[in-house]
Amino acid sequence: MSADTMISAKLLKIFQLHRKSLFVLLAFIVYYLTARLGLEVATINKQASPIWPATGVAISLIIFFGPRMAIGIFAGAFLSNYQTGLNIPASIAISIGNTLESLFFVLAFTRATSKNLFDVHNKAILGIFILILSAGISASVGTIVLWITSVIPPTMILKNWITWWAGNFLGALFIVPVAYKFKLQKFDSYKLANYQILKFLLVAGLVVVINNFIFASEPSLIYLQIFLVIILSSVQGLKVKAQKIAEEITKELREQKRNWKALTETSPVGIFLTDRSGNCTYVNPAWTKMTGLLSKDAFQQGWTQALHPDDMQLVIKKWNMLVSGETFSCDYRYIKPDGSVVYVTGQALPLRDDKQEVTGYFGTVQNITELYLNQIAVATSSRMSSLGQMASGIAHEINNPLTIIQGKALYLEKIIDPTGKVDFEKAKITIDQINTTIQRIAKIIKGLQSFSRDTSEEPFQKSQIKDAIEIALELCRERFFKNDTRLILPKVTTSNLMFLGSPEQISQVLLNLLNNAFDATKAQAEKWVKIEIEVNRNENRLLVFVSDSGVGVPPQIQTKIFEPFFTTKEVGSGTGLGLSISKGIMDNHKGRLFVDSSKPHTTFAIELPLLQEQSSEVSA
């Protein structure tokens, strides 16, 4: 260890031991210098200064280093006062006043704010109030001492007090908040401190000028100092309030920014922002993942390169519609750099400022590739399964008559061939039977045609409900019969019940309901399906009910059954499309398809506008 380091170590030890005393000494020096500075501008007499930064400095010292600093402050105050020519007792008294002032402020303020009852703004108001009181202590002690020692005449008491009080108050007003900020927050306050000191110097200069040139020439105006105090303190208060609001707004903004970030960065949905002219300014990770582009590649017009070439036109068209005030909502495709296609559904809306001016656009993009492919698979499989169902149905319906025709033809051949003699009676019967059976097949084929033909574009015509029911029954009667499901048909003659529409389409709906009813009764001991017709002549409505002996539709799925792809049947046997398509057909006919829960059995009803019949033949 060298001598130097030994010395510095020793010094450090001394410093540590006498640290507190050193601070007291420091307080003495600082206070003394500040007080001398204040006294330089004393206006009323040598002691009362209209600007007294020493009060602020004293309070700051106590805030930072504790009440112990009061010793230094007292010493500084004493020395500076004594040098103005006061005697020792008077200097001591005034110094006590100065010291008490600072101690009082710090203790009162710390105590009042210890319970965190006040926000920043209220704390500032409280601080100003306490400062008014503490400056009063110093001013009162000082003025009394000066009066007793006859430094001032009784006439000057009030003016002296006001100047003293105002000087101390203003001196603290701009310094104490800085000290508190330093103490409470570890923030970049040097700039703020500089600014505050500058402001203090400015105010101090102003006060000195006003006092020297206005109050000095016209002492009665000295009371105006009070207004100066009020104005300056309210400025300080307002500033705190503005700061508080600004801080709150900043806090809120920061929080919103954090939330936005968390939301967009974790969202599985692609999110983008553009400016007013559609130049992209932001895309979230989900978007970049979806498109395979980097976010910087998406900026400006870069996002358009993610669009599938075939959908480019569509998206641009929709985007232009959005710009002209319509909503943007469409399904389109992205193509990734690796060539894979992503199906998405996108929404966008304009962002507006307070004046309702569009500032940009916000959009979301959801990847629906899986859903889309699933739907295609379901649609294909349901088409296949309904095709299979239909094929087996047709085969069933046609194989029996074919067997008959084939057999009968063979029979004819036999009764004609061997002898040359023909039993015309037998031959006639057989030929008739063949013809009837051929007609039976023709009827089935006709029924099928009405299904395969796309009738959706055909104009509606006056039709009989009877025909629609007949077509539907033709394609399912056999199935019901063979499975022992009783078909209960309407007793009312329906020949005169007309509607405007397509009997083929209505029969599709009915066939669908009948097939559902058939499936519902399959596992039941008692199997029946009933068709009923009801006419509401008052409202001109025609109702056809299809009910069955099945277990019924559970209430919780009653609203779902009309949704596309909803099915309760086992995989492969139902398409889940029947009722939704049927509902569409009924809507086209200005009619309704609904579950009539007022009936005791499962009852589906179709309702059509009744066309007024020409003839009045009604039979029941």
Give me the residues that bind another protein (CB under 8 A), please: 391-392, 395-396, 399-400, 402-408, 410-411, 414, 433, 437, 481-484
| 257 residue type, one letter | K
Q: CB neighbours of 210 closer than 8 A, spacing ≥ 6?
A: 50, 228
* Smallest distance from another protein to CB 389, Å: 11
Nearer to another protein by Cβ, of 414 and 421: the residue is 414
Nearer to another protein by Cβ, of 32 and 518: the residue is 518
- Alpha-carbon span 61 to 249, nearest angstrom: 33
* Smallest distance from another protein to CB 479, Å: 9
* Smallest distance from another protein to CB 373, Å: 31
* Smallest distance from another protein to CB 449, Å: 20
Query: In the numeric block, which tokens belong to residue 284?
Result: 């979230």
Single out the residue of 278, 276, 302 nearest to residue 291, CA to CA: 302
| Whether the Cβ atoms of residue 487 and residue 529 lie closer than 8 Å to each other | yes
* Smallest distance from another protein to CB 399, Å: 4
* Smallest distance from another protein to CB 508, Å: 23
SS3 349: strand
- Alpha-carbon span 580 to 28, nearest angstrom: 93
- Alpha-carbon span 176 to 361, nearest angstrom: 48
Nearer to another protein by Cβ, of 327 and 392: the residue is 392
Nearer to another protein by Cβ, of 327 and 403: the residue is 403
Nearer to another protein by Cβ, of 337 and 388: the residue is 388
Length of the chain: 620
Nearer to another protein by Cβ, of 265 and 413: the residue is 413
* Smallest distance from another protein to CB 570, Å: 18
Nearer to another protein by Cβ, of 416 and 492: the residue is 416
Query: In the numeric block, which tokens belong to residue 55?
Result: 């009060």
Strand partners, 535: 542
DSSP-derived pairing of the beta strands 486-488 and 528-536? parallel
Nearer to another protein by Cβ, of 122 and 400: the residue is 400
Nearer to another protein by Cβ, of 45 and 400: the residue is 400
| Whether the Cβ atoms of residue 434 and residue 411 lie closer than 8 Å to each other | no
Q: CB neighbours of 153 closer than 8 A, spacing ≥ 6?
A: none
- Alpha-carbon span 76 to 86, nearest angstrom: 14
* Smallest distance from another protein to CB 406, Å: 5
DSSP-derived pairing of the beta strands 461-464 and 498-501? antiparallel
- Alpha-carbon span 86 to 80, nearest angstrom: 10
* Smallest distance from another protein to CB 385, Å: 14
- Alpha-carbon span 94 to 52, nearest angstrom: 14
| Whether the Cβ atoms of residue 515 and residue 529 lie closer than 8 Å to each other | no
